[in-house]
């Protein structure tokens, strides 16, 4: 029986190590995606890290998929801290919520509606909405 208990302990250790490796890789992918979103929206990713916030099963196209939520901090003007969130399904970005783009989550699995033009909603004070940069052409 001693060999059986050693085998079970080894398999349990291997399973824990595998889960740790997979979660580390998923977190690295989330950091990369947070950097990309911050660059796209002219935000500064603070601390260059993300933290696990939630795990949930979501039904997508009739199948259940694990959705992992991460939180991170960004700066809009360089002297502030605001929270951003992103949700990943596997290695793909599912949704993102950033300050300055409405503060609500945007589902990236749905096709984005075309922009109606430069009309922006009224915002109090000195809040400036951020939009993705347009690629520069020729230099």
Q: pLDDT tens, 120-130?
A: 445 445 555 55
What percent of the chain lies above the pLDDT cut of 90? 32
**Confidence band of 77 (pLDDT split at 50, 70, 90):** confident
pLDDT band per the 50, 70, 90 thresholds, residue 136: low
pLDDT tens track for 53-76: 999 998 888 899 999 999 999 988
- Residue 87's pLDDT band, with cuts at 50, 70 and 90, is very high
Tracing tokens 């949704």 back to the chain, one arrives at: 95
Arithmetic mean of pLDDT, 83-89: 92
> Over the range 60-77, which residues count as b (16 or more CB within 10 Å of their CB) and which as e?
eeeeeeebbbbbbbbebe
Helix, strand or coil for residue 81? coil
> Tell me, what's the pLDDT at 91?
83
Query: Which of the pair, 106 or 83, is modelled with greater confidence?
Result: 83
97 and 103 Cβ atoms separated by less than 8 Å: yes
| Closest residue by Cα to residue 89 from 116, 112, 56, 115 | 56
| Beta bridge partner(s), residue 83 | 73
Tens-digit pLDDT profile for residues 20-52: 898 889 889 999 999 999 888 888 898 888 999
């Amino acid at each position: 029986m001693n060999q059986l208990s050693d085998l079970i302990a080894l398999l349990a250790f291997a399973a824990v190590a595998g889960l740790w490796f997979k979660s580390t890789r998923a977190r690295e992918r989330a950091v990369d995606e947070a950097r990309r979103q911050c660059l796209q929206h002219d935000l500064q990713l603070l601390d260059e890290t993300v933290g696990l916030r939630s795990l949930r099963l979501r039904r997508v196209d009739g199948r259940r998929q694990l959705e992992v939520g991460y939180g991170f901090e960004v700066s809009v003007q360089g002297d502030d801290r605001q929270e951003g969130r992103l949700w990943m399904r596997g290695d793909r970005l599912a949704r993102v919520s950033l300050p300055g783009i409405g503060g609500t989550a945007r589902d990236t699995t749905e096709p984005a509606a075309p922009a109606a033009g430069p009309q922006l909603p009224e915002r109090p004070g000195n809040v400036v909405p951020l939009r993705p940069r347009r690629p520069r052409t020729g230099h």
